[in-house]
Structure 1
Amino acid sequence: MTIDESAIRALPKVVLHDHLDGGLRPATIVELAAQIGHTLPTTDPAELGAWFVQAASSGTLELYLETFDHTVAVMQTEEGLRRVARESVLDLAADGVVYAEQRYAPEQHVQRGLSLQQVVDAVQAGFAEGVAAAAAQGRTIRIGTLITAMRHADRGDEIAALALANRGDGVVGFDIAGAENGFLPSRHASAFRTLAQAFFPATVHAGEAAGVDSIAEAVHVAGATRLGHGVRIVEDIDILDADGETLQARLGDLAHWVRDHQIPLELCPSSNVQTAAAASIAEHPITLLKELGFAVTVNTDNRLQSGTTLTREMSLLHTEVGWTLDDLRDATLTAAWNAFIHHDERERLVDELILPGFRQGGNGRHRA
């Protein structure tokens, strides 16, 4: 079966790894930057969008992260945060996303005097506005918020406490992000202990710029129930035979642990290529990991920097690697069943939105 992009866009989708400060509309950046006097590389929205993709495609995570200087700069006021959050929801809903976990680091948005709680309140207000506006357009979407601590800073305990303080107001999980090399999860071990004792889930950026040591700490020190990226788990896998009918591979102890416990991998194909964690979409380990039985999910990471959508990521996997509708459904179900919402809520998400949408095959718009 050949699936066209419009059919994939119509499918109900779940994204677990999507950064709020990596999904701004270029035109919004231009308008907000003008209001605060922030200088941009260009004030033409189309050119600015292209600049973000080009700058993010430098080949290293560190240079990729420098593009956020501009997005974070325009997210320092309640108005700016609310607008960005509202528009993010609308853009995701227009792409067929029915559940999204949006992550951001409140500590990065206090440069103009907002408190951490004011940042959270503004973002949550924007999410609520976006959900309501999407509903008015006939689209259903739910947002779960992941509060992120920057791994190179020393505010892990404070940010973990912030996440816990807002767990009943839309915040569903915790994350650490930023430069991975040299800043392993153990740096925030006390924060992760606090979260575990409070029965609060965490995902950890690991196995993107750093290798298996980072993944091991994410699992055993941070107690991560999902892995942000995790693409470099392949470094603990030896392929013995890829030519026969059955893929033969030898897994190391860590790879076995991740697969045996079905710890979901929040894989982001285009972003991983940009940061050189993968050579190309065709060579991305996501397909190998799927075939080996790992819990694979498909994600966008930063829609602005990658010039992408979840529809585009899935379309690339279909056209360049041969993923089928069943493959896309399985990855979507894996994402839904591993969302940081309660089990009964996941059941409703799967039974009422995802399975009916896939049975229709993208509203019937696939072609054989």
Structure 2
Amino acid sequence: MRFVLLGAAVSALSLPVLQGQAGAPSGLPLPAAVAVAAAAGAAAWWARRSWWPLAALGAAAYVWFLLWPPLLAASYFAGRDLAKGRDSAAYLGGCAAVCGASALVGAWRAGPQEMLAATPGNALFLAVAVIGLPFALGLWTRARHEVRRRAEREQVMRAEQARAQERARIAREMHDVVAHRVSLIVLHAGALEVRTADEAAARAAALIGGIGREALADLRDVLGVLRSPEPAAAVSAPLPTLGDLDRLLDQSRALGIEVVRRDEGEARAVEPAVGRTAYRVVQEALTNVHKHAADARTDVRVRYRPEALEVEVRNGPPPAAPAGLPGAGWGLVGLRERVELLGGTLRTCAEDGGGFLVAARIPA
């Protein structure tokens, strides 16, 4: 829009200049003057892509008709866009040649044009006003933009540095606290498996140890993501998806929860992000069952719709009041964000009778 306004302004200024400035008419008939003014406006509008046509037209019009608006606009773009000193010097040298040629033409035509173009004082004034000042304004505009871009780059670099430091701090905390305690759980589970004479207790200890080792492997990958400048390259193990859902359910069954899985619709391959999100929905729901409704029967439904994948995890009321495990309370919040990032919806609600439902619908 601003280049349309620029073109209109150049045309509007060019026409009266061609009809006569300081008593020096161009000698062009009105239709020709209108055509030249329109060409100058079109060249100014085209400066949004390239300002060189505007500079060429401005130079020719300045030499023959002392038409200054196109050259003034071209000088501003030259100062703004010519980054190399050699290019700027070449442009200013060309403008000096244009002023010299204009002085020669003015002397040849004599009269008012000679007074404007060939008199040293007037020629210098026009050169400074038409070329020098717009060029300096373009230089100032470019410098201001460069300062702004440099400030934005520095701000981005400071933000990235702060993120990297925070990621490193989180990684240290997770390594020193979480990984240490999970390692102790694995060690104690291994000791219990070896020392107990109860076969059922040994199987439970082995299961706890296996889950703890998987947790350590996942934690190692997470620490790699936090410490790596390229997180995508830090994950060494493939992330779980729908194909790993049965193994997740078997782990819950081994801990004493009755879990039943039902699939509805024709099973098909879905996008990896959709499969991983569906797996996390079931995982988080089962985690909450372990925390808040231990031993409660749990139904897991996976529905393959033509346009979406639906996952429901519904547990009944626990047989006895659970002791409960500590939690941060952010599991379902993060899960909702993960589902909504894929354009899906997550519904969580308590049901009549004491059960709980976690249902996700993910476009697939």
Structure with more strand by fraction: 1
Bucket of the pairwise TM-score, normalised by the shorter protein: under 0.3
What is the TM-score when the length of structure 1 is the normalising length?
0.20
What is the TM-score when the length of structure 2 is the normalising length?
0.21
Structure with more helix by fraction: 2
